[in-house]
Amino acid sequence: MREVLEGSQAVARTVARCRPGVICAYPISPQTHIVEALSVMARTGELTDCEYVNVESEFSAMSVSIGASAAGSRAYTATASQGLLYMAEAVFNASGMGLPIVMTVANRAIGAPINIWNDQSDALAMRDAGWLQLYAADNQEAADLHIIAFAVAEELGIPAMVCMDGFVLTHASDVVDLATAEQIDGFLPPFRAQQVLDVENPTTIGTMAGPESFTETKYLQHLRFLDAAEVIDRWSTAFRESFGRQTGGLVARYDPDSLDRNNLAPPGDATDVTVIAMGSVLGTLQAALVPLRAAGVSVRLLGISSFRPFPELALREALGECRDVIVIDRALELGAGGVLTGNVGRALAGTRSRIHSVVAGLGGRPILEASLRDVVARERAGQLGRLEFLDLKTGGVPVPPVGATEVAR
């Protein structure tokens, strides 16, 4: 049923219909509406056979999730920004122990300076944590991705973050068509764990591994992670067949004419320039690029739906022969450039691609359609630098003028 819902409400209702056994909550903006909504459902009986635990920190939120998952429950929590960093030690630990926890990250900037608004610095700082990272372009995808995340995480024994832009998605109301409990029951298998704390079959989880076995442990973890691309692709295809809409996957190939995500383009057509982005900015890009296409600019749009595993093969296939690439990056690797750009660069190594990185929308700065069109126009004119900051203000503040901001590596 199509209805207008806030992004957080859409996510909370979908998570509840995935039948989690334990939900942990600790407040941090902008994820609070999700756990607030779940707390109501836990009280009204909409969530059955589920323990809702208010904890004293994000570190404990992840730790309770670890214990719950290891004891055989589907465990869920949500966080953002400082909260994600505060739980970092346990985040790495969960993946090392193969516990398929699902966590919503309502993407938000990291201080100092403290800033509650949206960019993707938080989840991207956790890129080596051994978690799957799936990014939602809109509220519909944010809700749906949780169903896929539970399925993929539990098949692989790898925890999953579903990343949705804070405020831009969490607090925005949009039309969504939520999966019903019956639909999800028919799609998502019951919880299964790789290893469980069971008094009938006692096991020791979390041993110390010395130099003689640590490398092999990590190698096996790596191999399992490499399997993840195929598993994500398979579950996303199954989702499309069951629910009739495109959600998740590895790379979203926006149709070049309509720039519609649901109308998948074939991989590798011959466009002059490709814009690559991740998260809700894809919606802005859709709107920005349609007039350019109409004006005859050969530009297309690719969305990174899975940042971890990073879909190197799928990205190369999607790009085909296109060599001019603009990456709209929502997080900055200080002294180096955009975080997404670095991953795109590694995927395209040896292809002679010309990659431009545009760092945009840090700490909630609005990303304007006109600014994005200007970026494409300047790229076509050969005027776009290798690293630029979108709409950097240079008047009245002690910032070097545009031009001097391009960083040579």
Backbone angles phi, psi at 304, to 5 degrees: -85, 110
In DSSP terms, 388 is beta-bridged to 358
CB 176 within 8 A of CB 3: yes
Q: Which of 69/133 has CB closer to other proteins?
A: 69
Q: Which of 7/20 has CB closer to other proteins?
A: 20
Backbone angles phi, psi at 324, to 5 degrees: -95, 120
Assess 69 for contact with other proteins (CB under 8 A). Answer: yes
Q: Which of 210/398 has CB closer to other proteins?
A: 210
Assess 73 for contact with other proteins (CB under 8 A). Answer: yes
Backbone angles phi, psi at 182, to 5 degrees: -65, -45
Assess 64 for contact with other proteins (CB under 8 A). Answer: yes
Q: How far is the CB of 1 from other proteins (least distance, A)?
A: 29
Rounded to whole angstroms, the Cα distance separating 332 from 340 reads: 9
Assess 170 for contact with other proteins (CB under 8 A). Answer: no
> Of residues 40, 54, 192, 215, which one binds other proteins by CB under 8 A?
54
Q: How far is the CB of 264 from other proteins (least distance, A)?
A: 39
> Of residues 45, 56, 295, 335, which one binds other proteins by CB under 8 A?
56
Q: Which of 81, 106, 120 is nearest to 359 (CA)?
A: 120
Assess 28 for contact with other proteins (CB under 8 A). Answer: no
> Of residues 1, 44, 45, 49, which one binds other proteins by CB under 8 A?
49
CB 183 within 8 A of CB 244: no
Distances (CA, A) of 92 to 127, 159, 215, 231, 341: 10, 10, 16, 21, 24
Distances (CA, A) of 375 to 1, 140, 289, 355, 384: 39, 28, 11, 13, 7
Assess 97 for contact with other proteins (CB under 8 A). Answer: yes
Assess 348 for contact with other proteins (CB under 8 A). Answer: no
Q: How far is the CB of 34 from other proteins (least distance, A)?
A: 19
CB 310 within 8 A of CB 347: yes
* Residues touching other proteins, count (CB under 8 A): 43
* Angular region, 134: left φ>0, alpha ψ -120 to 50, beta rest: beta
- Token pair listed for 95: 């993946």
Assess 59 for contact with other proteins (CB under 8 A). Answer: yes
CB 64 within 8 A of CB 40: no
Q: Which stretch binds other proteins (CB under 8 A): 68-76, 151-159, 254-262, 357-365?
A: 68-76
Assess 157 for contact with other proteins (CB under 8 A). Answer: no
> Of residues 12, 90, 149, 319, which one binds other proteins by CB under 8 A?
90
Residues between 194 and 213 with contacts to other proteins, criterion CB under 8 A: 197-199, 201-210, 213
In DSSP terms, 253 is beta-bridged to 302
Q: Which stretch binds other proteins (CB under 8 A): 3-11, 58-66, 135-143, 250-258?
A: 58-66
Q: Which of 208/408 has CB closer to other proteins?
A: 208
Q: Which of 56/128 has CB closer to other proteins?
A: 56
Q: Which of 41/50 has CB closer to other proteins?
A: 50
First to last CA, the chain: 51
Assess 68 for contact with other proteins (CB under 8 A). Answer: yes
Rounded to whole angstroms, the Cα distance separating 231 from 237 reads: 10
In DSSP terms, 275 is beta-bridged to 301, 326
Q: How far is the CB of 158 from other proteins (least distance, A)?
A: 17
Q: Are strands 2-6 and 160-165 parallel, antiparallel or unpaired?
A: unpaired
> Of residues 39, 71, 171, 353, which one binds other proteins by CB under 8 A?
71
Residues near other proteins, by CB under 8 A = 21-22, 24, 49-51, 53-57, 59-60, 63-73, 75, 89-90, 93, 97, 197-199, 201-210, 213
